[in-house]
Amino acid sequence: MSAAPSPQRPRRADGPAKPERSPRPESPSTAPSPALLRKVALSSLLGTVIEYYDFLLYGTMAALVFGPLFFPESNPTVGTIASFGTLAAGYVARPVGGAVFGHFGDRLGRKRMLVLTMVLMGAASFLIGLLPTYAAIGIAAPALLVLFRVVQGIAIGGEWGGATLMVVEHADARRRGLWNGVMQMGSPIGFLLSTLAVTATTLLPQDEFMAWGWRIPFLFSALLLGIGLYVRISISESPLFRQAIAAQKEREAGGPSRIPLAQVLRRPRALVLACAVGIGPFALTGMISIFILTYATGIGYATSEVMNGLIAASFMGLVTIPLFSALSDRVGRRKVVLSGAVGIVLLAFPMFALIDTKSPALLIVGILLGQLLQSAMYAPLGPLLSEMFGTEVRYTGASMGYQLAALIGSGFTPLIASGLLSASGGMRSAPLSGLVVVCGLVTALAIWRIAETRGRDLTR
């Protein structure tokens, strides 16, 4: 199903947008009480924190320990690429999770799927913390590591769409960005928690960290899972979904059921654009949140210095993501995303130049610059993608677009970056900067082709 036309100006969703009039408000009957909306936002926030804590923790450990512990027969370079390959496996599974949970989320409800995704993610992370290494069980160790990573990918593939829609479909049209920004704070909070957990365990002597210390952050997932489930089970189903599913059952009475994914793929332009607009922010995430550990330590930085930069970036994200998301309610989704995309195209080379100085202070400045631009591109994605699809296929369409972007942008970026450095014969940043620029151009082109979605009536 393609993007719905603007209520004020019927037009193709793939054409460059023009300024629009103030959006027509949704029916007052869809507006929840402030207390209910806060509860829904808190539930989505906690769920997103848990999902991203577990998912990003794996990425950090892939850079630090998984190579020697699970791929010991490889040389160091190949071992790093192999460990990032398991990282990519999780991203490959994300669109699968988006399709599966999107289908059932559009047919059975958002809430049920969100409980299931949280359980899958927490269980997979806890089992990684218990997993024997290659030295103990041989080839079964990396095989199980990949399996658990795939389960993580499937879980997070369904989590984002459901958590976003629970907020967007409960919120008033004028404040979707604001409330979605609260939910999306879960990404930097999850990353901050995972970074702090890794930083604390790296204070152990190196042999103890490699022997057992790296497991502690994964085992901690069990506690987070219990807290998240307690809150999530108590929330109510999306009112827009209840209305849409009732209308859908009336239409389908006596006829075949519609498959949400088939409806989305029948007119795929909206899905393609939804994927393309997310490639820039996800590529930058893969570069400054995951691959930076490998690159920066390779040119002489201490691991602790890089971790300090990542912690600073997490705190910046806590501020910039909700600010940019709320700003998109005022000036539009397109302007905010486009500003970040143009910024990274212009500043990718200067960003890596700061990192290449080998100054810990300038390393932090470079990482913070990347985080600022990533937040501008990433923050409006929740309301933007949700407003591009109708209620009956919204979970599927928004999830598939977002997760395909994550696969292409973040899933393969560390792997491609490792290959570029190996091919260049040394730790050179120019190929990395070029990779980021290309991804930023993809996002800029995509957002230029998407009509403004701010304020669309989701009941139409």
Return the amino acid letter for 259.
I
- Smallest CA-to-CA distance from 381 within 147, 176, 136 is with 176
For the 32-242+260-449 domain, the top CATH level (class) is mainly alpha
Q: Which residues of 166-189 are buried (b: 16+ CB within 10 A; e: fewer)?
A: bbbbbbbbeebbbbbbbbbbbbbb
Neighbours of 262 (CB within 10 A): 12
Q: What are the contacts of 27-35 at 24+ separation with CB within 8 A?
A: 27/459, 30/239, 30/240, 30/243, 30/458, 30/459, 31/172, 32/170, 32/171, 32/239
Kindly indicate the confidence band of residue 66, based on its pLDDT and cuts at 50, 70 and 90: confident
Alpha-carbon dihedral of residues 108, 45, 288, 296, nearest 10 degrees?
-120
Return the amino acid letter for 365.
V
- Distance in angstroms (rounded) separating the CA atoms of residues 275 and 446: 9
DSSP 426: S
Kindly indicate the confidence band of residue 32, based on its pLDDT and cuts at 50, 70 and 90: low
First CA to last CA across the chain, in angstroms?
14
pLDDT of 13 = 43
* Residues in CB range of 111: below 8 A, 6 or more apart: 162, 166, 232, 235, 236, 237, 238
Query: Is 60 exceeded by the pLDDT of residue 101?
Result: yes
Query: Is 50 exceeded by the pLDDT of residue 3?
Result: no
Q: Is 102 within 8 Å of 260 (Cβ atoms)?
A: yes
**Looking at per-residue confidence, does 460 or 281 come out higher?**
281
Q: Is 418 within 8 Å of 287 (Cβ atoms)?
A: no
pLDDT of 277 = 97
Q: Count Cα neighbours of 72 within 13 Å in the Cβ-side half-sphere.
A: 10
Return the amino acid letter for 222.
A
Whole-model pTM?
A: 0.79
**Looking at per-residue confidence, does 207 or 52 come out higher?**
207
Residues 173-193, mean pLDDT to the nearest whole number: 88
Return the amino acid letter for 459.
T
Across the chain, what does the average pLDDT equal? 84
350-401 pLDDT, tens digit per residue, is 999 999 999 999 999 999 999 999 999 999 999 999 999 988 888 899 999 9
Q: Is 148 within 8 Å of 127 (Cβ atoms)?
A: yes
302-345 pLDDT, tens digit per residue, is 988 998 898 899 899 999 999 999 999 999 999 999 999 999 99
Write down how long the chain is: 460
237-283 pLDDT, tens digit per residue, is 777 777 777 666 665 555 556 788 888 888 899 999 999 999 999 99
